[in-house]
């Protein structure tokens, strides 16, 4: 049955590409091209993944990967990073290893990919610490069988699992089959990144096991310093560096001094009662308290943080994704890899730890391209809480510098959007210099809602 489906899809791709003078081949259990223009065909993208066109920069990233070059791609949240290595895996054949920091994200992607790729003879697997010994062993056996038959495979692994002796022994046997090593959330490898994870440091060493494989590093937030550190830590060889547009013009950015706490949030939510959103809180206790208080006021809300069991987190996330629950009160543990287009607002109940963290979190709003709002409430005491949290961290100095940048951003009385873009090294044209964003939809400063003394004016009416 699988072979019949593969042949049918392969025939359709051959027919659809013939008019473009493209040649579609077959080998290694994967689709591959003998022309560098294959990825321009919308039919190829649609037949397997169900999309009718590429998002900005996806084509360029895939092109670099297929040419055999190491690549660092900085693509905004919601830019479609995962498709870059998924489609590349199909076109390259062999085994693609994807390093992902979150088990929940791995599970979600595997569940979505299997129905699409298994009919093509492609095995999609995940190895991580939450698997039972029986499940782990079964997945390892499937992986060996897949490579033994010359079929295409995509293996998701956590950085902790990648450094384990058992997996290293397995991959050493399969090293000749590895074509691509994809590192998702690559900023985690840098001590200058906002979410440094020491386990990521072993990835660069593992690259030596697969000398014939190129590496694709992906992240949504990386300053010049972080980009240079990613290249060094992952041992990228003369990489192609592709940087997307950081601007999210549909998101209105607003920052207010926190004076009445929950009352300010309730006033904001009164205008978004039927909409989906996220409220980021500093701690687990604050997330639970926020959810309890707002639920008592009649809002559809639940909480999410690392203190919940796997079953509780999964249940609450699914209820929010389905729309059964409209608002998620969460810590930073929530949001990475979430694919929900109709999030209309993101609230920060206190100041985030860094501009990178802030940008990534507000980027979870408005992925459908429609208007969305980002509201931050801050107080002078937020910095002290964050500094206390930093104590004992390996990258304490870097974290302090990022906090200082965040504090300057909050205090600044110039265009919020331009400040964020400048931080990431992007010089675009805001509304003042001919851009497309009217001041009322840019930020609170441009809309004239923040006075020189930093006092809040009444909230703007919706445009």
51-81 pLDDT, tens digit per residue, is 878 888 898 999 899 889 999 999 877 778 8
213-224 pLDDT tens trace: 999 999 988 888
Bridge partners, 30 (sequence order): 27
pLDDT value for 454: 39
117: pLDDT strictly greater than 80: yes
Longest Cα–Cα distance in the chain: 70
Residue 236 makes CB contacts below 8 A (sequence gap 6+) with 70, 72, 215, 217, 230
Task: Please report how the helices 262-269 and 284-296 are oriented relative to each other, as an axis angle in degrees rounded to 10.
Answer: 50
The residues, ordered by sequence, that sit 6+ positions from 298 with a Cβ below 8 Å of its Cβ are none
Average pLDDT score over the chain: 83
Please list, in sequence order, all residues whose beta carbon lies within 8 angstroms of the beta carbon of residue 207, skipping any fewer than 6 positions away: 181, 213, 215, 234, 235
- Kindly tell me if the per-residue pLDDT of 25 is higher than 90: no
CA–CA distance, 188 with 303 (Å, rounded to integer) = 25
User: What integer pLDDT is reported at residue 406 of this predicted model?
Assistant: 96
Provide the whole-model pTM. Answer: 0.79
The rounded distance, in Å, linking the Cα atoms of 437 and 359 is 18
Closest CA to 215 of 187, 242, 179: 179
Query: How far apart are alpha carbons 124 and 82 in whole angstroms?
Result: 14
User: For residue 292, what is the DSSP state?
Assistant: H
Could you give the C-alpha distances from 121 to 3, 17, 26, 96, 144, in angstroms and in order?
7, 21, 12, 14, 14
98-102, 240-244, 335-339, 367-371: least confidently modelled range: 335-339
412 backbone dihedrals φ, ψ, rounded to 5°:
-65, 145
Give the rounded distance of the alpha carbon of 52 from its chain centre. 22
| Strand, coil or helix: 218 | strand
Residue 456 is given by DSSP the state B
């Amino acid at each position: 049955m699988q072979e019949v489906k593969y042949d049918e899809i392969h025939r359709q791709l051959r027919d659809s590409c013939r008019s473009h003078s493209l040649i579609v081949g077959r080998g290694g259990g994967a689709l591959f091209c003998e022309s560098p223009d294959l990825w321009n065909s919308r039919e190829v993208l649609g037949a397997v993944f169900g999309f009718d066109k590429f998002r900005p920069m996806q084509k360029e990233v895939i092109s670099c990967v297929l040419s055999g070059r190491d690549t660092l791609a900085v693509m905004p949240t919601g830019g479609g990073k995962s498709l870059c290595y998924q489609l590349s895996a199909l076109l390259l054949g062999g085994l693609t290893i994807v390093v992902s920091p979150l088990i929940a994200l791995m599970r979600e992607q595997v569940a979505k990919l299997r129905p699409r790729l298994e009919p093509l003879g492609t095995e999609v697997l995940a190895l991580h610490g939450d698997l039972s010994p029986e499940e782990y062993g079964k997945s390892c056996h499937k992986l060996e069988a897949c490579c033994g038959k010359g079929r295409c495979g995509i293996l998701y692994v956590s950085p902790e699992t990648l450094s384990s002796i058992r997996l290293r022994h397995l991959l050493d046997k399969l090293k000749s089959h590895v074509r691509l090593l994809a590192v998702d959330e690559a900023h985690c490898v840098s001590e200058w990144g906002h979410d440094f994870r020491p386990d990521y440091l072993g990835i660069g060493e593992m690259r030596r096991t697969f000398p014939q494989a190129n590496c694709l590093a992906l992240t949504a937030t990386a300053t010049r310093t972080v980009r240079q550190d990613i290249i060094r830590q992952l041992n990228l060889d003369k990489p192609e560096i592709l940087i997307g547009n950081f601007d999210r013009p549909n998101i209105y950015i607003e920052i207010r001094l926190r004076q009445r706490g929950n009352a300010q949030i309730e006033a904001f939510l009164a205008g978004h009662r039927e909409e989906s959103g996220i409220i980021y809180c500093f701690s687990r206790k604050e997330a639970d308290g926020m959810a309890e208080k707002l639920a008592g006021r009649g809002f559809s809300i639940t909480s999410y943080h690392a203190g919940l069991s796997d079953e509780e987190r999964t249940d609450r996330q699914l209820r929010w994704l389905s729309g059964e629950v409209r608002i998620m009160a969460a810590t930073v543990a929530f949001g990475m890899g979430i694919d929900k287009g109709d999030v209309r607002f993101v609230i920060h109940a206190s100041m985030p730890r860094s501009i990178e963290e802030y940008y990534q979190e507000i980027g979870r709003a408005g992925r459908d391209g429609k208007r969305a709002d980002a509201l931050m409430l801050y107080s002078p005491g937020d910095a002290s809480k964050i500094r206390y949290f930093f104590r004992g961290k390996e990258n304490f100095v870097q974290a302090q510098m990022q906090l200082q940048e965040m504090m300057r951003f909050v205090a600044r009385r110039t265009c919020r959007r331009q400040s964020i873009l400048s931080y990431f090294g992007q010089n675009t044209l805001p509304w003042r210099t001919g851009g497309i964003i009217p001041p009322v939809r840019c930020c609170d400063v441009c809309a004239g809602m923040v006075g020189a003394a930093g006092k809040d004016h009444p909230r703007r009416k919706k445009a």
